Structure 1
């Protein structure tokens, strides 16, 4: 399929992707082709031996971190991504790529997959390999998150992931939060919204991010949280959010009225899903991840080694 000139192109594409950390979208724009073409080209480069991926790391160290987290929180499986000596952009890309391949292990023909929203999920979907599946549907777990950063919205992520898998997706045409509980009840009664929410009961794999509403909060940047609400959440010991629902330090769902105004799957519903993969990294997320694990909202976790090490150290210090 590829002649000599094509091989030179494959080498150029591979160097941009692996050496310079260009995204597949950026490379596609440079060469005037589609992103799927670049994804296939990178796979071809690996198949032809142009690219050999060798990870020189200490697998015993990350494996031990994974084992400790699994035992501490009774998690089914943990993936700790090696990120030493990587800058922030490369860390995000590495975690997105690792999370994508981790999630793919749990996807089978006939599955119903729920996806929430956020930056880590965006990078996971962006790095997701092209993998054709049969009779799979992607379902957004929460309404839209404003008019900016549309690429991180649950609907958009569901759509992009459905393209990678060659399957169908639903769309939840509602905001993530509304002004009053009365308005929420009116909206979720609409047929096109209620049908998507009801489809949540069929989901067997959920992909969710774990946020920190008090530090580097995407929800604050998008205008969902003002200073007054943030102070109220802090007073209630809120340290995390999943699917736009707020969680206290002890893992319990917060009683703040904002949680009653979210249009999407509740955390109690999330607990009933067979596979729930939580994805988060960064030292500012330690309290958030710990709260999510204490609450039992996820049974699988993807994070980086620095975050994993700090979480384990924090838990050991708290032990009598």
Structure 2
């Protein structure tokens, strides 16, 4: 029997055996898995592309799963309420309304809304669309849940939100949504690597002339579809509220601010409220949003009903994805 001890009597270290013969096989297995699972190519097509047998393609797919390159999870889709969806659409004159059951856990509700909205984008986005993503927890969930998308250009609709407000990874959400959408669609990406709110108008003007940022801003007027979230005027749901000092916050509340989209503020009637903040933000304006043919709002969960109602009254939204409790409150 072969000894497992070295010269000094100690057991020789056990090395984990790689499932691959070398880097070339690893690249082949990874590429075959991408063609099959992400690009939707058949095993026959993949075999013809790489000049191998269908048996070898099947074996590569098995290896991809066994080695952890591919991880398959079973996700039960959120239940959609067609009747409630239709009633909401008719009540607010929307092009579409999609109502999901939701969950007692707000984080799970956000995930469900993101998953349904991601499936909606896969359904309605067409080749050569220009698709915009605003910042927001639910919009970030949309980006995370995307699995397929037609060839399109993706644009970030505003700067990033400070991590001091929403957690260390939140400021990356909108950038990652744009990058992921571009990766899936094979189109160009125009992220904005700058804060949503700047300390003064001079700094904001300077950043708007930066070539990278200007490239994104220039595409706001070319948008064919935009995905936005809706915030109220409070610390929990607003992207702007926590970035302001208490004085300006209260002044805007007294002026009637009750909701926002991408740092654009609205009163209870859905009328835009302008302030000095307008010159300090890097974001799409309400006037530009009004020219986008299809604006998809993804919003729901506790405490969002008033803000969603405000934005619906603004006339900017053509599609709403929300949860059943919020829909019932809106209709009530």
Matching residue of 1:154: 174
Q: How many residues align?
A: 263
The yes-or-no answer on 1:119 pairing with 2:119 is no
Aligned to 2:243, what secondary structure does the other structure show? Answer: coil
Cα offset, 1:310, TM superposition: 0.5
The yes-or-no answer on 1:203 pairing with 2:260 is no
Give the counterpart of 1:276 among 295, 299, 318: 295
**TM-score calculated relative to the size of structure 1:** 0.75
1:105-149 Cα deviation digits (max 9, x unpaired)? 2211111111001110111111112x2533x11100011222443
Tell me if the contact between 2:134 and 2:228 (Cα under 8 Å) persists in the aligned partners.
yes
Distance (Å, rounded) in 1 between the aligned partners of 2:77 and 2:272 = 43
1:60-93 Cα deviation digits (max 9, x unpaired)? xx33322222222211000001126x43343222
Cα offset, 1:236, TM superposition: 1.4
**TM-score calculated relative to the size of structure 2:** 0.72
Cα offset, 1:285, TM superposition: 0.8
Q: Considering only aligned residues, what root-mean-square deviation do their CA atoms show, in Å?
A: 2.4
Distance (Å, rounded) in 1 between the aligned partners of 2:106 and 2:173 = 22
Q: Which structure 2 residues correspond to residues 100-115 of structure 1 after superposition, within 5 A?
A: 100-115=118-133
Cα offset, 1:54, TM superposition: 8.4
Distance (Å, rounded) in 2 between the aligned partners of 1:127 and 1:285 = 22
> Which stretch has the larger CA shift, 234-243 or 151-160?
151-160
Distance (Å, rounded) in 2 between the aligned partners of 1:152 and 1:71 = 36
Distance (Å, rounded) in 2 between the aligned partners of 1:304 and 1:217 = 16
Aligned to 2:273, what secondary structure does the other structure show? Answer: coil
- Taking a change above 3 Å as real, the CA distance of residues 68 and 206 of structure 1, as seen in their structure-2 partners, is same
Tell me if the contact between 1:145 and 1:153 (Cα under 8 Å) persists in the aligned partners.
no
The yes-or-no answer on 1:133 pairing with 2:150 is yes
Tell me if the contact between 1:245 and 1:262 (Cα under 8 Å) persists in the aligned partners.
no
Distance (Å, rounded) in 1 between the aligned partners of 2:256 and 2:239 = 17
> Which stretch has the larger CA shift, 181-190 or 249-258?
181-190
Matching residue of 1:75: 94
Aligned to 2:142, what secondary structure does the other structure show? Answer: helix
Matching residue of 2:257: 238
The yes-or-no answer on 1:224 pairing with 2:243 is yes
Structure number, greater radius of gyration: 2
Distance (Å, rounded) in 2 between the aligned partners of 1:198 and 1:149 = 27
Structure 1 unaligned segments of length 5 or more: list them. 1-30, 46-50, 314-320
Distance (Å, rounded) in 1 between the aligned partners of 2:294 and 2:144 = 21
- 4+ runs of 1 displaced by more than 4 Å? none
